[in-house]
Amino acid sequence: MKKLITIVMLVFSLSALAQEKTPVTEADYSNSSVEMADLMRSEGKIYVLVGIILIIFLGITFYLISTDKKISKLEKKLPALIKEK
């Protein structure tokens, strides 16, 4: 039964399209500007985006360093705990 449901779901997912297919034109190859980035840069919002990415990166880095320190402390205590038992 599980295999049948999986096959049915796969068949239905094959017909789903994320977006319409548009043909690539010669103008697409010569376009070197990114409209969204130019708009964000002109309005000063690009700096907000860079700041948010930096805050997220620093938060993840801080979390990893603090977790590493906690694991190191536990590794140092582990031999003593094993000897007690």
In this predicted structure, what is the pLDDT of residue 75?
A: 92
22 backbone φψ class: left, alpha, beta (φ>0; ψ -120 to 50)? beta
pLDDT in tens, 13-60: 766 666 677 787 877 777 777 777 777 778 888 889 899 999 999 999
In this predicted structure, what is the pLDDT of residue 56?
A: 98
Provide the CB-side half-sphere exposure for 71 (13 A, CA): 6
Q: Rounded to whole angstroms, what are the CA distances from 78 to 4, 10, 64, 71?
A: 49, 48, 21, 10
In this predicted structure, what is the pLDDT of residue 66?
A: 97
Full-model pTM? 0.52
